[in-house]
Structure formats: C-alpha cells, structure tokens
Amino acid sequence: MSAWPQLRETRVVRSGSPLGTVVSCSLTDMMLSGLPVSVVFFYRVAPDLGRLADGLAGALRHVPTFGGRLRSTGDSLEIACDDAGVPLAVYDLDDTLPEAIARATLPAAGQVDHVDAPRARAGADPLLTVRVSLLSDGGMALGCSWHHAVGDMAAFMVFMRAWSAFTEGGEPPVTDLVTDRETYLDTVLPEGGADRPGFKLPEGEHAAELDRHLAAATRANRTTQIHFPRPEVDALRAAVTADAGRGLSTNDVVCAHVACTVRALDGDTAVRWFAMPVNVRRTLGLPDDVVGNFVGEVFLPAPADRTAHAVAIRTEVDAFASRHLNLRANREFVRRVGPARVLECVPIGFDPGNRTLSITNWSRFGVYGVVFDGTAPAFFSPTTNLALPWVGWLVEGFDDSGLLCTLTLPAKLAARLRTPAGQALLHAHRPAGTEVPELATRIRRLA
C-alpha cells in the first residue's frame, strides 16, 4: 500500500505578461462549463523542476486562456486573460512508475488536483492545475486538470506543445486565440446540418435516474484499461475490413470491437446507441491550433455485430457534415431551454440507464510528443474523480505503441473484461508471439 503523497512545495506560476485580453465563450463552451478534464503524463526520468516551471510560464504567455479566470456577463461567459496564474504543486510519492501507472484511473490516486468546475465557473478557482508527483524510482507523474470551457483536448494539446517547446528551447506552435468564439463560428459554419442538438435537458424521472447514477458512481463503477499492441490492431482491422468488403479506419474497427465485446460479456442483445465525440475543426476548415471547444459527436444505433457496427460508424462519419454537425441545432436548443438552465443539460450520449456507450478518440493528438528535458512520456492516461459509467477514451499506448482503451463500466461488467473469457474475446486477433511492452507486463490490472 502506497503512503500518502508528501507535499514538497507549491507555487502559482504566472506568465508575467498579463494581456488583458477577454475571450467571449461560445455556446458550446457554456454547455461544457460544468466539467473539468483531467489527464496524467508519466515519465521515466523527472525533469529539472525549475525549467519545467519556466516552460509553464512561457506556455501561459503563448496560450493565456489557461492562466486566466472565468466570469459571467449577463447570460454569457468569458475568460479574462489576466494572468491570475496556475497552481503548481510538487509531491514526493513512494510509488514506482509501474505502480503509479496502475493507480492512474483510481479516483483516489492523488495524481491530479481536479479543477472544481463550479467554483472556476464563478471565477473563484483557476482554470488549470498542475501536480507533479516525483516517484521513488526517479520518474514523474505530471497531472493536469483544466476547465472544459477553456477548450477541448485539441486546444489543451496546443498548450502542452507550447509548454514542451518553451522548456526545451524549441519553437512553440502557432496559436489562434479567437476572442469571440461564437462570432468566429458564424464565419465558418455552413448552412444546414443536423436538426438534432447534441445536448438534452433531463426532467422528471430521467433527471432523477441520472442523479442516482451520479450519486452511486464511485462505488458502483470501475475503470479498466485495455492495451492493443500494434500487430493486434493491424490484424483486427484487416479481419473486420475483409468482412465488410470496404475501407474502414482503425478508429471504426477498434471502437466497434470494444463496444461489441462489452455487449457480449454483458449478455446484452437490446438495441443500444453509441456516441463518438468528433473534433469538427477539419469539417469546418479550421486550423488545428484554434483554441476553444470545436466538438460535435456522431450518435448512432449500435448493432451488436462488430462488422456491422464498424460499417455504421464509417457511414455516419462520412456523412458527418449533413447528419451530425449540429452546432446550429445547439444554438436553437439553448434559445429554447433558456441560458439559465444550461448547466442542467447533459450531452445526448450520456445515458447510463440505457447503456449508451461513448468513446472519445484522443489518438493522433501527439500526447507522446510532450517532451521535457529530452524525455518523452512512457505512458499517458485520462483520469477522473467521478467514475461515470459507459464512458471511454482511446489513445496511443505504452511508449506510443498500439492503442489503449480506458473504459468505465459497472463494476461487475468491468471485472469480466479481465476474466479468461473476457481476454479471449478482447484479444482474439492478437497474433501469436506478439510482443507486449515491458512496462505493460508490470501493470497487473491491465486487460
């Protein structure tokens, strides 16, 4: 059993150059303003902490929204880039790197200081926190939590690339800091699109049911991580693509495989839905480095057959602009429910009572390119202080190898993924002799 982390130091890091810029948030930002996002980067060698803090200050100059504060103006929300700063806490932890990785998804892991979203929305708390855990074998866990109103994962990775560049003495990424996000959308949003909004307002029994799931989340659910080495991913994609008789992406195939394996282990034959958040920058012709929340989602009936599910995902992604691009529908939804009730709304894909599975793909965002003192991450993981069920993330695995699926499910179902039957279904396409990364072999609870 690991000892509690021992606090070494804490400070507030500022850029030293307050811009005074004010960023007007979009309706999407407002809809997501009740949520934090938390992740952990793991390194085999801890960098110099002074250079790390200096690099953070440089990143805050480059992307100042992360060091600002939120404030309300009437029915709107805005980010004041006032250089209020980011708390940086350094702890000593007696875990080794494998032990820390094994605990990353536990709500009580103590590797992240999760942003308090309501307090941050009220302007009382920072929009980003950083926690450094110095490990007993010389490694480091770098836990970051940010307020979702600041931006999505793509926006956060612009910030992280800047942090790495300023620490390493490299060139930071070009950054597009839009000061009026909703007006900016007006200039790029095409006419038409989907009529269905991406959010819903739970009422009556449905609201009570969601409240019960939230109240029971920590004790009722468990998070499992599944590693698919690259040869296994390639074999799985080849098999499903051959069955489908058409081109399919790795994302199509792995998401369908995970979803259908979970359903099989659950003995579930009912009609279900599947949600997949999508970065809409490419759809709208926006640069990758524009900061904010530019997200939509594919939402589709989920066939129990893996190949049919993969084909359904590909069909809907190909038709995303006409069937699922719903930013105009979201605007109409907010007008209908009223801005005062925005925080009561939830994404349409959050429906644990109906076992609606949502998987967010964070691969190809460059998480293993966040280098400090010449050392790339050995592992990266999402984490949370509230284990909401039927939620998953897909990202590259150990040392940027293969894919890792992090999945939160009801406890008994999550345990079935690690049984021999669960392993047989999950890894049926793993070629004989496939090498598993050495670090992965030391994570006992990895599926």
Q: What is the DSSP string of 264-310?
A: HHHT--S-EEEEEEEE-HHHHT--TTB-S--EEEEEEEE-SSHHHHH
Which CATH code fits 202-362+386-441? 3.30.559.10
Given a contact cutoff of 8 angstroms between Cβ atoms, the answer to whether 139 and 78 are in contact is no
Query: Residue 4: is its pLDDT beyond 80?
Result: no
Angle made by CA atoms 215, 119, 202, in degrees to the nearest 5: 45
Measured CA distances, 133 to 6, 109, 125, 383 (Å): 9, 11, 22, 15
DSSP 195: S
Give the mean model confidence (pLDDT) for residues 81-90. Answer: 98
Q: Residue 162: enclosing H or E segment and its boundaries?
A: helix 153-168
Give CA–CA dist 93/211, Å, rounded: 35
pLDDT at 146 > cutoff 90: yes
- The amino acid that residue 430 corresponds to is R
Confidence bin at 1 (pLDDT 50/70/90): very low
Yes or no: say if 431 and 284 are a contact pair by the CB < 8 Å rule.
no
What's the whole-number mean pLDDT along residues 423-432? 97
Q: Are 89 and 130 in contact (CB under 8 A)?
A: yes
> Residue 384 pLDDT > 70, yes or no?
yes
Does residue 196 have a pLDDT over 90? Answer: yes
* Domain boundaries along the sequence of the chain: 7-186, 202-362+386-441
Q: Is the pLDDT of residue 18 over 90?
A: no
The pLDDT assigned to 213 comes to 93
User: Among 108-112, 128-132, 244-248, whose mean pLDDT is lowest?
Assistant: 108-112
pLDDT reported for residue 137: 97
Domains 7-186 and 202-362+386-441 share a fold: yes
Classify 331 in phi/psi space as left (phi over 0), alpha (psi -120 to 50) or beta. Answer: alpha
For 314-371, how does the pLDDT look when each residue is reduced to its tens digit (9 = 90+)? 999 999 999 999 999 999 999 999 988 998 999 999 999 999 999 999 999 999 999 9
134-144 pLDDT, tens digit per residue, is: 999 999 999 99
pLDDT at 195 over 70: yes
**How long a stretch of residues is the chain?**
447
Beta-bridge partners for 146: 37, 128
Q: Residue 3's pLDDT is what? A: 56
DSSP character string of 396-417: E-GGG-SEEEEEEEEHHHHHHT
Condensed to tens digits (0 to 9), the pLDDT of residues 291-312 reads: 999 999 999 999 999 999 999 9
pLDDT of residue 74: 86
The interaxial angle of helices 306-318 and 250-266, nearest 10 deg, is 140
Distance of alpha carbon 55 from alpha carbon 166, whole angstroms: 5
Q: Which CATH superfamily is domain 7-186 in?
A: Chloramphenicol acetyltransferase-like domain (3.30.559.10)
